[in-house]
Structure 1
Amino acid sequence: MAYDLEEQEQIASLKAFWNKFGNLITWLAIIVLGSYAAYNYWNYYQRNTAAEASGLYEEMQKSLAAKDNTKVQRIAADIESKYARSAYAQMSALAAAKSAFDANDMKTAKARLQWVVEHGSDEYQSVARLRLAGVLLDEKAYDEALTALGGEVLPQFAGAVADRKGDVLVAQNKVAEARSAYQAALDAMAKNDPARQLVQLKLEAIGGTAATPKAAA
């Protein structure tokens, strides 16, 4: 097929352009298509993973209702190993810790709670710190309990953390420090918080007097 002079010049320019930029264009296309495929796969993987983790968590709920601690721990370990980055791993660890505690298996309870402290996020981590400190308080591991309470927690848990610190300090016979902790708990709690009355009773029981709360209602 014959081309006129103008067409030949256009073809020559296209060839020159492709010789110069062809490889770059090809690689850019491969990267874009690869990224799109990876994005679609990731979405599919996330949906599939969430569904599997949800199924295991539902199975755990049945085992909790049946008070089958052995099965609860097995499912918790399975979720932790396969879906550690999901919220289900944190929820199952907290549930498994309670199951172990009820079964008087303090070692497992502490291990589950410690896992959430180390790997959990936000609310789950804060809850785990409080519960772990409670178990350690029961075991008279007071310094460890205070260490557990010493990490960062969400602001809405500040009152509960200070209250638990007060309990630990009372157990250590550190009355003055306990009073300060209980007062800090009252300062952090809203006026309508149902836990306030108990904290006030504990404060008064060790010779303290509740000051005007600083927290807003």
Structure 2
Amino acid sequence: MMATFDLEEQEQLAELKTWWQQHGRRVSSLVLVVAIGFAAWQAWQWWQNQQAGKASAVYAGLQQAAGKNDLKQVKLLSGELIEKYAGTSYAGMGALIAARVEVDQRDNKSARAQLAWAAGHAKDEGLRALARLRLAVVLLDDKAFDEALAQLATTPPAPFTPRYADVRGDIYHAQGKTAEAAAAYDVALAAIDAQEKAADDSGRGSKRAAYRDLVQRKRNALNATVPPAAEAKS
């Protein structure tokens, strides 16, 4: 019986040797590729964590500079985030903070550049939507009405729907387009009502009510009656 087992083992070893001679190089290559891929993934994760840590420190400095209204330092640190850490969320958030400080100090040109970058490159979809919204407001302030409307032409994430429609109403109103403004405000009001109906939060209800009241007052001031669907046709 032992001799039989030895013979079977020898045959299996011979088969394994033959198989290895035929496929061993391919298997070794696959193992090497997997090992290299895993090492590269680990290196990438390490680098990403390093970048995020460094970006976080720069962002903290930017927040401090913004709190002091130090425009020069705000621009410097925001530029560093965009130049060195564009792949992190901190770059987009930093651009939004920098734009706010620049608008406060009447540097709309720089604010527009910051917001345009964030609208196109921020890592988070919500940040990109917010950047487009704020850019539209700055463009409205600069009376660049067509450019402002272009920023709001895309469909935003649902939470931004009321604000996008509201700002469209402001732009149309500034252009003297009363019917279009009324229709936009109607869309904003309907979106606010839909969000209120679907909401399961208790802390933001009063804020939504105050915001709805503001939009309603703007709508009432137009003395125009336009169905909500009219905005889509305008």
TM-score clears 0.5: yes
Aligned residue among 189, 193, 200 for 2:192: 189
Q: Which residue of 2 aligns with 1:215?
A: none
Q: Which residue of 1 aligns with 2:98?
A: 96
| Preserved CA contact (<8 Å) 1:130 1:149 | yes
Q: How far did residue 9 of structure 1 move?
A: 5.0
Aligned residue among 163, 166, 170 for 1:160: 163
Tell me how many residue pairs correspond in the alignment. Answer: 209
Distance (whole Å) between structure 1 residues aligned to residue 160 and residue 16 of structure 2 = 67
Q: Which residue of 2 aligns with 1:16?
A: 18
Q: Which residue of 1 aligns with 2:221?
A: 205
Q: How far did residue 208 of structure 1 move?
A: 3.5
Q: How far did residue 62 of structure 1 move?
A: 1.3
Change (3 A) 1:206 1:7: closer
- Cα distance per residue 1:112-165 (max 9 Å; x no partner): 101111112321111111111111111111111111111231111111111101
Q: How far did residue 32 of structure 1 move?
A: 1.4
Q: Which residue of 1 aligns with 2:38?
A: 36
Q: How far did residue 16 of structure 1 move?
A: 2.0
Distance (whole Å) between structure 2 residues aligned to residue 40 and residue 186 of structure 1 = 49
Greater alpha carbon shift after TM alignment, 14-23 vs 24-33: 14-23
- Cα distance per residue 1:59-86 (max 9 Å; x no partner): 1111112211111111111111222121
Q: Which residue of 1 aligns with 2:232?
A: none
Higher RCO (CA 8 Å, separation ≥ 6 residues): 2
Change (3 A) 1:197 1:206: same
Equivalent position amino acid for 2:212 in 1: R
Q: How far did residue 201 of structure 1 move?
A: 0.7
Change (3 A) 1:178 1:12: same
Q: How far did residue 11 of structure 1 move?
A: 5.0
Equivalent position amino acid for 1:182 in 2: Y
Equivalent position amino acid for 2:133 in 1: L
| Preserved CA contact (<8 Å) 1:50 1:86 | yes
Equivalent position amino acid for 1:165 in 2: R
TM-score using structure 2 length: 0.83
Greater alpha carbon shift after TM alignment, 143-152 vs 162-171: 143-152
Distance (whole Å) between structure 1 residues aligned to residue 147 and residue 216 of structure 2 = 25
Q: How far did residue 15 of structure 1 move?
A: 3.2
Q: Which residue of 1 aligns with 2:109?
A: 107
- The CA RMSD measured in Å over matched residues stands at 2.1
1:53 aligns with 2:55: yes
Q: How far did residue 6 of structure 1 move?
A: 6.7
Change (3 A) 1:16 1:139: same
Change (3 A) 1:5 1:196: closer
Greater alpha carbon shift after TM alignment, 201-210 vs 47-56: 201-210
Q: How far did residue 104 of structure 1 move?
A: 1.6
- Cα distance per residue 1:158-179 (max 9 Å; x no partner): 1111110111101111001111
Distance (whole Å) between structure 1 residues aligned to residue 106 and residue 224 of structure 2 = 35
Change (3 A) 1:8 1:139: same
Q: Which residue of 2 aligns with 1:214?
A: none
| Preserved CA contact (<8 Å) 1:90 1:124 | yes
State the identity %. 40
Greater alpha carbon shift after TM alignment, 11-20 vs 118-127: 11-20
Q: How far did residue 5 of structure 1 move?
A: 7.1
- Where structure 1 has 5 or more consecutive residues not aligned to the other structure, the ranges are 212-217
